[in-house]
Amino acid sequence: MTHPPQDDAAIHTQLIQANRQHLAGQIAQAEALYNEILNRAPDHAVALKLAGTAALQLGKLEQAVQLLQRGIAVAPDDPELYANLGLVYDRLGDIDQAMAQQRHALALQGDYPEALSNLGSALLKKGLFHEAEAALQRALQQRADFPEAHLNLGQVLAKLGQFEQAIAHYRQALTSQPQNSALLTHLGLALAAKGDAQEAVNCYQKALSIQPNHLKTWVSLGNLLLEHGVLHQAIHCYEQALGVDNSYPEIHSNLGKSYAKLSRHAEAERCYRHAVELAPQRMDLWSNLLLSLHYNPSNSAAQIQTEFTRWAAGPMAEITPATLLPREDLEQGPLHVGLLSSHFKRHPTLWLSLPAWERLNPQQVRLTIYHNGQQQDPFTERLRAVAAQWREIHALPDAQVIRQIREDKLDLFMDLSGHSQGRLSIAAHRVAPVQVKWVGGLFNTTGLATMDWLLADGLQIRPQDEPWYVERIHRMPHGYVVYEAPTYAPAVNPLPALESGHITFGCFNNPKKLNPTILTVWAQILRSLPHSRLLLKGDAYRSEESRKGILQQLMQAGVNQEQIIFAPRSPHAELLATYQQVDIALDPWPYSGGLTTCEALWMGVPVITLPGPTFAGRHSASHLHHVGLGGWIVESQQAYIAQARHWAQNLAALAQLRQGLRAQVARSPLCDADQFAQDLTHALRHMAMHPK
């Protein structure tokens, strides 16, 4: 459509006025003028481009798409239209279209650093880090003083673990944009990853002084404080973030983690529930909630089971599992078993299973490992040495992993992560004729109808407990795990109380397992033995807030401050050596020790345990029974107190027990890896031949 010259002149004047307002930040006013122009000249390419840009800036994304597509129809050779349309698709979450539009722009104009930077940003979101790096390097070759490209490249390099280079690009961008709070936040993230925590905090605080409501900065600062145990300040940061926008489930979840580290379990549960309500399909959020329930002494087994049922009826109910039949010649040849975990490293998962995997006869059991973690260590290599196949899956989507496992034609699939950084959705789709849950995030039923079996023993799951499980229970005859002590474990020393003149109790369990109920029991023990000590060791005790919270509860219950000793986390050999200061270990409740109990026993320290209502609370009972210390398993809080007092007043007997305990443990089923491997082989064959 053509217009009289006077109309063209008027449109030109109006376009200049609109553009001035646009550049001045008066975007809504500019948009109104662009629309007036388009009412008179619907095919005006410049007005369409600028109106589309204004709509993008105002968040009117669908309108922006329509305007820019109209502009492309009129001016198909204008690269800026494609670049701007790519930005809109990026905001809409259609990253493939975003990349396609930026590439179209670059096909029209190769020397276009803005399009290269936009393309790099989109490639970053797709996880194509090396391609993103190449695009952004090209952008900076064309325009070295381009802060957005420096920001994007910094993010890519951070993803690649190249934090020094990322920091350099962030600092370069800040020379031209020193008040850019997003840049300061990303710089803080890179500094934190590099280990410069205080510099990271300084960056976050500067960003917040510029933009007090910057959501990502509050969250990033909260995450750093949570990592370093500055828990009350972390809680403050997450609450500030939720005041800006309470729609992000991750913020609620991290707030829950902060409360959990302070043993404020009811508040932690409330936060995890908020997260699940916001994103009911997120497996990781459900897993956080389900795990947290086991730390709270107020929750019964029935209440916890109700939440597993809710989870199964929610995201899991939408999955239609495959029907996979066992092979007809199952009794012939080796059984093909697949193991999946995020914890194939120095972790309780392998501490309590690796000796068995290493002793399996490969002519009877053939292992394929699906490694969902990123860290590797000597434990990883030991497992790799006995695997027939090893597959790295942590970067692969569920659909690809499911397809691969099915193609591997397993006889039995075993999950060794559960609700602890696991991928239970894979088992929910069914990838083998028989699926089994064993160690690794094993604290209760999985709740999955497609999990056919759960490997346990008679102490972990009694007959009366079975109604709480969706799985069939296979009870191992000599305990449900096997323990191999490290070669660097120090020798067992004489009973410390004989030299110190007082009994020292200890608990080296995760401090999250402590709560007012068990602390009250411990306080009664300490009050009745006023010269006794309680040594608490764990990562959280580097935080003054954590120490203060525990100490306050114990002192309110009548314990003297000098009776409590805190020790932070230390290297494993040093942790084991610390048991040389402990006479008796006190097990938490309702979530008991597992590997921690095994280590205490190996170091000659017996453990008093009161079994809890779920699998999570019965680990210590199983270990004590199988090393011949069933008498240290009590049935009530009063019996717990009486047991502690009895042994504290019988030091000669306690010293004798300590002297022979390591040899007793070494001879026990807990450390008999050959017997356990035989039991496991039988169990695997039995479960494979008996689908649910």
pLDDT in tens, 360-395: 999 999 999 999 998 999 999 999 999 999 999 998
Q: Does pLDDT of 400 surpass 80?
A: yes
pLDDT at 300: 94
Question: What does each C-alpha distance from 95 to 56, 88, 126, 441 come to in angstroms?
Answer: 16, 10, 7, 35
- Phi and psi torsions of 682, nearest 5°: -60, -45
DSSP-assigned beta bridge partners for residue 336:
366
Contact 262, 549 (CB under 8 A): yes
| Residue pLDDT, tens place only, 112-122 | 999 999 999 99
Give CA–CA dist 207/589, Å, rounded.
Answer: 43
- Phi and psi torsions of 512, nearest 5°: -60, -20
Q: Tokens for 381?
A: 């290599």
Strands of the sheet containing 434-437, edge to edge, are 389-392, 365-371, 335-341, 412-415, 434-437, 453-456, 472-475
Q: Tokens for 338?
A: 């697949």
Single-letter amino acid code for the residue at 202: N
pLDDT at 317: 85
Average pLDDT score, the chain: 94
DSSP state for residue 633 in the 8-state scheme: B
Phi-psi region of 628 (alpha: psi -120 to 50; beta: other; left: phi over 0): left
Q: How confident is the model at residue 4 (pLDDT cuts 50, 70, 90)?
A: very low
pLDDT at 9: 80
Q: Tokens for 372?
A: 């969902």
Average pLDDT over residues 80-87: 94
Single-letter amino acid code for the residue at 630: G
Q: Tokens for 491?
A: 């020798």
Q: Does pLDDT of 5 surpass 50?
A: no
pLDDT at 7: 61
Q: What stretch of H or E contains 577?
A: helix 572-578
Give CA–CA dist 606/654, Å, rounded.
Answer: 9
- Phi and psi torsions of 591, nearest 5°: -100, 110
Closest CA to 373 of 340, 399, 418, 337: 340
Q: Tokens for 685?
A: 């064959």
Q: Tokens for 602?
A: 């190996």
Closest CA to 294 of 549, 599, 546, 618: 618
- Nearest-Å Rg of the Cα atoms of the chain is 31
Single-letter amino acid code for the residue at 687: M
Give CA–CA dist 297/91, Å, rounded.
Answer: 45
| Residue pLDDT, tens place only, 175-232 | 999 999 999 999 999 999 999 999 999 999 999 999 999 999 999 999 999 999 899 9
558 by DSSP, 3-state: which? coil
Q: Does pLDDT of 2 surpass 60?
A: no
Percentage of the chain beyond pLDDT 90 is 85
Give CA–CA dist 528/239, Å, rounded.
Answer: 42
Q: Does pLDDT of 278 surpass 90?
A: yes
| Residue pLDDT, tens place only, 104-161 | 999 999 999 999 999 999 999 998 999 999 999 999 999 999 999 999 999 999 999 8
Q: Tokens for 651?
A: 């030091």
DSSP-assigned beta bridge partners for residue 461:
none
DSSP string, 333-364: S-EEEEEEES--SSSHHHHTTHHHHHHS-TTT
- Domains in the chain, start-ordered, CATH in brackets? 6-221 (1.25.40.10), 247-313 (1.25.40.10), 335-475 (3.40.50.11380), 496-671 (3.40.50.2000)
User: Other C-beta atoms within 10 Å of 183: how many?
Assistant: 25
- Phi and psi torsions of 507, nearest 5°: -145, 115
Q: Does pLDDT of 290 surpass 70?
A: yes
3 or 605, which is more confident: 605
368 by DSSP, 3-state: which? strand
State the residue for tokens 């972790």.
Answer: 347
Contact 224, 197 (CB under 8 A): yes
Closest CA to 559 of 527, 522, 595: 527
Question: What does each C-alpha distance from 318 to 314, 323, 427, 450, 452 come to in angstroms?
Answer: 7, 16, 14, 13, 19
Give CA–CA dist 368/414, Å, rounded.
Answer: 10
Q: Does pLDDT of 6 surpass 90?
A: no
Give CA–CA dist 215/246, Å, rounded.
Answer: 10
Contact 482, 622 (CB under 8 A): no
Percent helix, strand and coil across the chain, each to the nearest 5: 60, 10, 30
Phi-psi region of 199 (alpha: psi -120 to 50; beta: other; left: phi over 0): alpha
pLDDT at 543: 84
Q: How many CA atoms lie within 13 A of 325 on its CB side?
A: 3
| Residue pLDDT, tens place only, 47-77 | 888 988 888 999 999 998 999 999 999 999 9
Report CA torsion sign: 385, 386, 392, 394: negative
User: Other C-beta atoms within 10 Å of 88: how many?
Assistant: 26
Give CA–CA dist 452/435, Å, rounded.
Answer: 5
User: Other C-beta atoms within 10 Å of 516: how many?
Assistant: 14
Give CA–CA dist 3/319, Å, rounded.
Answer: 60
Q: How many CA atoms lie within 13 A of 431 on its CB side?
A: 28
Closest CA to 474 of 512, 435, 416: 435
| Residue pLDDT, tens place only, 503-561 | 999 999 999 999 999 999 999 999 999 999 999 999 889 888 889 999 999 999 999 99
Q: Is 111 exposed, middle or buried (0-12, 13-18, 19+ CB in 10 A)?
A: exposed
pLDDT at 24: 87
Q: How many CA atoms lie within 13 A of 406 on its CB side?
A: 16
